[in-house]
């Protein structure tokens, strides 16, 4: 089944403790992206990647890092999480930005930083 | 302010009623996407519109693109409880020299049985 797999689904952590949210896709998509979704602010793009070793900032990259060492994986790293990073995070992939078939989204990771 | 504005922000309709959701862009639209999200879950792609005047349908959902007005509308005919969720429009900015892909703030739809 074609899918984007994110882990974990839920995570509660403490301020300053480094964490990684994993994202993997099995569709050979070039374009992968991370978003955060907050009430009233909608979905905001954190980082995106056009292909292996090619990443760029979205609209809200501060406090996040990404890497794209393999085509299928695009982990999101929070080196020193803070409470304002409490949010619902989504990974998405497509052949092109959006592509003719749109994005395929993961199920989301609900992160709480206390 | 948001580059993609959606209206209304929320909508409650009686089952069987028609409804329209609008998405307006502050920049030229080259491609406009519609997605549906069930609460707390990932988005599901509905359809993509590329050309001005283009109209597409997916089951009882029809979307239209007005390039001159930089606007798209999503129309649901004879709404059902299964239509409930959050509808979001999205746009890629690749022709603007960036590979960003942005979304509107969403329209929350509730359908009363």
> Which candidate, A25, A33, A34, A32, places its Cα nearest to that of A5?
A25
Question: Could you write out the DSSP letters of every residue in A9-38?
Answer: SEEEE-TT--EEEEEEESS--SEEEEEEEE
Give me B93's structure tokens: 């900015």
> Which candidate, A101, A27, A89, A48, places its Cα nearest to that of B101?
A48
Confidence of residue A15 (pLDDT cuts 50, 70, 90): very high
pLDDT at A99 over 70: no
- Give the closest-approach CA distance of B37 to chain A in angstroms: 10
Q: What's the length of chain B?
A: 113
Chain B residues within 8 angstroms (CB to CB) of chain A: 2, 31, 33, 35, 40-46, 48, 88, 90-94, 99-106
| Model pLDDT for residues B15-73, shown as the tens digit of each residue | 999 999 999 998 887 789 999 999 888 899 999 998 888 899 988 999 999 878 889 99
Residue A15 near residue A83 (C-beta atoms within 8 A): yes
3-state class (DSSP) for residue B96? helix
Q: What's the length of chain A?
A: 114
| DSSP 8-state assignment for residue A73 | B
| Model pLDDT for residues A17-69, shown as the tens digit of each residue | 999 999 999 999 999 999 999 988 889 999 999 999 999 999 999 999 999 99
Mutate to test the interface with B, among A21, A36, A42, A55 (most CBs of B within 10 A): A42
Rounded distance between C-alpha atoms, residue B20 and residue B108, angstroms: 12
Residue A25 near residue A72 (C-beta atoms within 8 A): yes
């Amino acid at each position: 089944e074609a899918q984007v797999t994110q882990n974990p689904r839920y995570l509660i952590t403490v301020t300053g403790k480094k964490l990684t949210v994993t994202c993997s896709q099995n569709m050979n998509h070039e374009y992968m992206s991370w978003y955060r979704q907050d009430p009233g602010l909608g979905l905001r793009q954190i980082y995106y990647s056009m292909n292996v070793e090619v990443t760029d900032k979205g609209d809200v990259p501060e406090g996040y890092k990404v890497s794209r060492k393999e085509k299928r994986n695009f982990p999101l790293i929070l080196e020193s999480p803070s409470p304002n990073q409490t949010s619902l995070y989504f990974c998405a992939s497509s052949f092109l930005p959006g592509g003719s078939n749109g994005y395929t989204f993961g199920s989301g990771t609900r992160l709480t930083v206390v | 302010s948001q580059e993609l504005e959606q209206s209304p922000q929320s909508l409650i309709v009686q089952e069987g009623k028609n409804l329209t959701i609008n998405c307006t862009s502050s920049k030229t639209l080259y491609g406009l996407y519609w997605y549906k999200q069930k609460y707390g879950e990932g988005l599901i792609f509905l359809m993509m519109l590329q050309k001005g005047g283009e109209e597409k349908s997916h089951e009882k959902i029809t979307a239209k693109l007005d390039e001159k007005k930089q606007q798209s509308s999503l129309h649901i005919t004879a709404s059902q409880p299964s239509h409930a969720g959050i509808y979001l429009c999205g746009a890629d900015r690749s022709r603007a020299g960036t590979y960003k892909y942005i979304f509107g703030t969403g329209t929350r739809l509730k359908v009363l049985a």
